[in-house]
């Protein structure tokens, strides 16, 4: 689920005093964590639009894949096992070719992840003459958690290590490449674009971290923005060692300023950023090995300070940070 | 969840062989009914758009109310107790006045029904210059069912009675009135418009019918269309006595052709149409009394015949039926 300015809309207008038999333990997290009385569920809900989350001419098969992947990634951040999802599509007219391609990408990932499509709805959105009105996709995904468990953004304490899975920044570099603003090494183009179009949700790692990590989020808004959400909810700060931040070879070939911009503030990587006690270092590395997911220790949690995150180079100098995070409703 | 042409889009492109640990017992029903291993859930998902489901200038407070009401109505058709919902809104720009009004209508019904908003997302949809791009709303609502129970559209058998709650046709008459096509008696205008803008989901009745009805659906597409979904899934037919169909005084004052059109084929009433064994007549009437919901016996289930539904007048003559059901993607 979203954070930042978008989330504040939901928070501002739709948060009331708690009522009803089901409460969420995860308000402000990637998932709502709900005790139903009979079990514990993680539920997430993401809406995406062509032209906002996807380039207007995006391959519909990629759109289908990614629409589910970002929801699975939210379940991964909670450590939940994906079980079922519900799909809404708003489109201006029935376009069978688009739907068939979209479905192929979506259902392939659904089957791979054991997350069944158990319901859905389509609706015609108002058409504006002479234009292709936006395609809107909303997915609500549900996962299962063991009683009493579930990763949230709260729980990081000073002294914890900060970790991240995989590499960060490639999805942002791919976007910049598509916009014609950045160049990529010719032999890296396909791999970098795949990171944007077909991100790998880290569900196996998330499940393995359930008893190992103290807090977690997925990297959708950007490494610093999403780590910032953990720090804010946990009431702590953090120091990050820039040289430890894992970036791909393709990104390493760029200027240091672009590396900072992509790896620290670029979104859409769908890696997991998480914290864990230093006693759990071996256990976290083991979780990475068991699930075939690279995990890298990139810093440490510190007591609450004015600046939420400081990123330092090996020389100890702080990295000057570009403006972080992505907000669909921010004024430009 | 939707039926008809809309549903066929989901069915055609998104139905694969079952996989994963959670299966739905209710494919093609108002809700997915899911055994999670630890309990039984009913889940429904509806997407709505201004200009398609709502008039473009609809009062946002009504839009908020009704967006949740139609989902609660799906839970009512399954007999589930509403517990939680997730909300996605796509809008071209942040409009605080619209959101505040929308939220007021939505959250009032949420509190009344004990159905908590546990997550959500907002996204900016592409804006088309000089126009107000459509507002899209998607809600996924979850309810709780006792183990082994849950009403679906399957289960009607020949000899069962056909019942409907409340009155049908007013929402359709209201739409015709707003379009300037039909007149309403001046003292009936407010009441009829309220049936369109603020339909009453029949959750208490639905829960009471869990052990009494054999099949159920909510009246969203129209009485005959939704009864037709029950008959199709149950592999049976039905005869309806026109004179028994409950319509409001306002509708009774119209021509018989308009009464037929509104009550039999008009959608958006959000009453429950259901079947029950004749031995359950007293029990069904009791459910109506206990929940303060009028229930009317309007016909009987017959063995499968070529025509799904026959509607007869007291004289035994069949009523000529207007084309039934509503499909956002049907060619006009």
pLDDT at B83 over 70: yes
Which residues pair with residue B274 across a beta bridge?
B163, B216
Q: Please answer yes or no on whether A10 and B122 come within 8 Å at the CB atom.
A: yes
Q: Is B282 annotated as a binding residue?
A: no
The whole-number pLDDT of residue B9 equals: 66
Beta-carbon contacts of residue B84 (< 8 Å; ≥ 6 apart):
A20, A22, A24, A32, A34, A43, B115, B116, B117, B118, B141, B142
pLDDT surpassing 70 at residue A22: yes
Cα gap B139→B82, rounded to integer Å: 13
What is the number of CB-based contacts under 8 A between chain A and chain B? 272
- What pLDDT score does B331 carry? 37
Q: How far is A113 from chain B (nearest CA, A)?
A: 8
Contacts of B90 in chain A (CB under 8 A): 47, 49, 90, 134, 136, 138
Distance from CA of B160 to the nearest CA of A (A): 29
Residue B194 has a pLDDT of 94
Contacts of B19 in chain A (CB under 8 A): 110-111, 114, 116
Mean pLDDT of the A236-252 span? 96
**Average pLDDT value over all residues in chain B:** 88
Res. A332: pLDDT tops 50 = no
User: Is residue B161 pLDDT above 50, yes or no?
Assistant: yes
Residue A331 CA to residue B110 CA, distance in Å, equals 31
Share of chain B above pLDDT 70, in %: 89
The reply to whether residue A47 touches residue B6, judged by beta carbons under 8 angstroms, is no
DSSP symbols for B232-284: HHHT-EEEEEGGGS---HHHHTS-HHHHHIIIII------EEEEE-GGGHHHH
Highest mean pLDDT among A30-34, A166-170, B29-33: A166-170
> How many Cβ atoms are within 10 Å of A103's Cβ, its own excluded?
23
**d(Cα B94, Cα B92) in Å, to the nearest integer?**
7
Mean pLDDT computed over A35-42: 84
SS3 call for B116: strand
Nearest to A119 among B16, B23, B24 (CB): B24
- Give the model's pLDDT for residue B58: 87
Q: What is the ipTM of this complex?
A: 0.86
User: In terms of C-beta density within 10 A (0-12 exposed, 13-18 middle, 19 or more buried), how is residue A282 classed?
Assistant: exposed
Q: Which residues of chain B lie closer than 8 angstroms to A87, CB-CB?
A: 10, 14, 45
Q: What is the pLDDT at residue A11? A: 65
pLDDT band at A274 (very low <50, low <70, confident <90, very high): very high
Neighbouring residues of B200: CB distance < 8 A, sequence distance ≥ 6: B69, B166, B270
Q: Which pLDDT score is estimated for B328?
A: 46
Whether the per-residue pLDDT at B37 is higher than 60: the answer is: yes
Between residues A285 and B27, which one has the greater pLDDT? A285
**Residues of chain A contacting residue B41, judged by C-beta atoms under 8 Å apart:** 36
Return the higher-pLDDT residue of A142 and A97.
A142
**pLDDT for res A171:** 96
Contact A254, A195 (CB under 8 A): no
Q: Is residue B151 within 8 Å of B216, Cβ to Cβ? A: yes
The mean of the pLDDT values for chain A is: 88
Q: Is the pLDDT of residue B283 over 50?
A: yes
Q: Which of A113-122, B2-11, B258-267 has the lowest mean pLDDT?
A: B2-11
Q: For residue B101, what is the nearest residue in chain A, using CA coordinates?
A: A13
Which residues of chain A lie closer than 8 angstroms to B119, CB-CB?
A: 1, 10, 24, 31-32, 43-45
pLDDT for B49-74, tens place per residue? 887 778 878 899 999 999 999 999 99
Task: Using pLDDT thresholds of 50, 70 and 90, give the confidence band for residue B90.
Answer: confident
Task: Identify the pLDDT of residue A77.
Answer: 97
At A104 the pLDDT is 94
Task: Choose the closest CB to A116 out of B22, B94, B123.
Answer: B22
Q: Specify the pLDDT at position A270.
A: 97
The 10s digit of each residue's pLDDT in A180-226 is 999 998 999 999 999 999 999 999 999 999 999 999 999 999 999 99
Which of A272-281, B35-44, B77-86, B132-141 bottoms out in mean pLDDT, i.e. has the lowest? B132-141
CA A96 to chain B, closest CA, distance in angstroms equals 9
- pLDDT at residue B28 above 90? no
Tell me which range, A21-25, A320-324, B4-8, B190-194, is most confidently predicted by mean pLDDT: B190-194
Secondary structure (3-state) at B48 = strand
Give pLDDT, residue A323: 60
**pLDDT over 80 (residue A27):** no
Asked if A286 and A213 touch (Cβ cutoff 8 Å), the reply is no
From A33's Cα to the closest Cα of chain B, the distance in A is 9
Q: At what angle do helices B96-113 and B60-78 cross, to 10 degrees?
A: 30
* Listed range (A316-330, B32-46, B159-173, B279-293) with the worst mean pLDDT: A316-330
Q: What number is the average pLDDT over the span A230-243? A: 96
Spell out the residues 6+ positions from residue B64 whose beta carbon is closer than 8 angstroms to its own: B101, B102, B103, B104, B105, B106, B107, B109
Instruction: Please state the domain extents for chain A.
Output: 4-145, 161-312
* A141 pLDDT higher than 50: yes
pLDDT of A28 strictly over 80? no
pLDDT at B323 over 80: no
Q: HSE (CB half, 13 Å, CA atoms) of B187?
A: 2
Banded model confidence at residue B39, pLDDT cuts 50, 70, 90? confident
CATH 3.40.50.620 fits B4-145, yes or no: no
- Ramachandran area for residue B155 (φ above 0: left; ψ -120 to 50: alpha; else beta): left
- Binding site as annotated, residues of A: 30, 44, 46, 53, 74, 120-121, 153, 218, 220-221, 268, 326
The pLDDT value recorded for residue A132 is 53
Cα–Cα–Cα angle for B284, B45, B85, rounded to 5 degrees: 85
Please name the CATH architecture into which domain A161-312 falls.
Alpha-Beta Complex (3.90)
Give the pLDDT mean for B183-190.
91
Residue B330 pLDDT greater than 80, yes or no: no
| Band of residue B252 on the pLDDT scale cut at 50, 70, 90 | very high
Paired sense of beta strands A237-241 and A309-312, if any: parallel
> In angstroms, rounded to a whole number, what is the distance separating the alpha carbons of residues B36 and B34?
6
Confirm if B215 and B230 have CB atoms less than 8 A apart: yes
Residue B143: what pLDDT? 95
- Taking only the tens place, the pLDDT of each residue in A284-323 is 999 999 999 999 999 999 999 887 899 999 888 888 876 6
User: What pLDDT score was predicted for residue B80?
Assistant: 96
Instruction: Residue B69: name the closest of B271, B261, B260 by CA.
Output: B271
Instruction: Answer whether A162's CB lies under 8 Å from A297's CB.
Output: yes
pLDDT at A44 exceeding the cut of 50:
yes
Binding-site residues of A for Mg(2+), in ranges, read 30, 44, 46, 74, 121, 218, 221
Q: Is the pLDDT of residue B247 over 50?
A: yes
Nearest neighbour of A53 by CB, restricted to B9, B106, B123: B123
Q: For A82, which residue in chain B has the nearest alpha carbon?
A: B20
């Amino acid at each position: 689920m979203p954070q930042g300015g978008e989330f504040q809309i939901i928070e501002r207008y739709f948060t009331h005093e708690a009522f009803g038999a089901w409460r969420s333990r995860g308000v402000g997290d990637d998932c709502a964590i709900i005790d139903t009385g009979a079990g514990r569920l993680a539920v997430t809900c993401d809406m995406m639009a062509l032209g906002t989350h996807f380039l207007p001419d995006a391959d519909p098969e990629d759109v289908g894949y990614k629409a589910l992947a970002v929801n699975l990634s939210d379940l991964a951040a909670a450590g939940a096992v994906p079980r079922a999802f519900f799909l809404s599509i708003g489109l201006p007219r029935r376009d069978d070719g688009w739907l068939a391609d979209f479905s192929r990408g979506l259902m392939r990932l659904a089957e791979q992840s054991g997350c069944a499509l158990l319901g859905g709805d389509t609706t015609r959105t108002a058409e504006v003459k002479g234009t292709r009105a936006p395609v809107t996709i909303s997915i609500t995904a549900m996962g299962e958690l063991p009683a009493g468990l579930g990763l949230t953004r709260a729980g990081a304490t000073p002294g914890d290590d900060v970790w991240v899975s995989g590499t960060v920044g490639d999805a942002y570099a791919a976007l910049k490449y598509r916009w014609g603003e950045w160049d990529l090494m010719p032999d890296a183009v396909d791999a970098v674009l795949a990171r944007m179009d077909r991100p790998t949700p880290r569900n196996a790692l998330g499940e393995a971290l359930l008893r190992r990590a103290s807090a977690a989020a997925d990297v959708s808004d950007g490494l610093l923005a999403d780590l910032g959400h953990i720090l804010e909810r946990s009431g702590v700060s953090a120091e990050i060692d820039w040289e430890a931040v894992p970036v791909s070879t393709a990104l390493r070939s760029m200027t240091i300023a672009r590396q900072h911009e992509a790896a620290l503030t670029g979104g859409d990587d769908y890696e997991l950023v998480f914290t864990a006690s230093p006693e759990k270092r071996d256990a976290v590395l083991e979780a990475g090995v068991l699930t075939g997911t690279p995990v890298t220790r990139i810093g440490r949690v510190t007591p609450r300070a004015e600046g939420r995150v400081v990123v330092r180079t090996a020389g100890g100098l702080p990295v000057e940070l570009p403006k972080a995070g992505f907000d669909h409703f921010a004024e430009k």
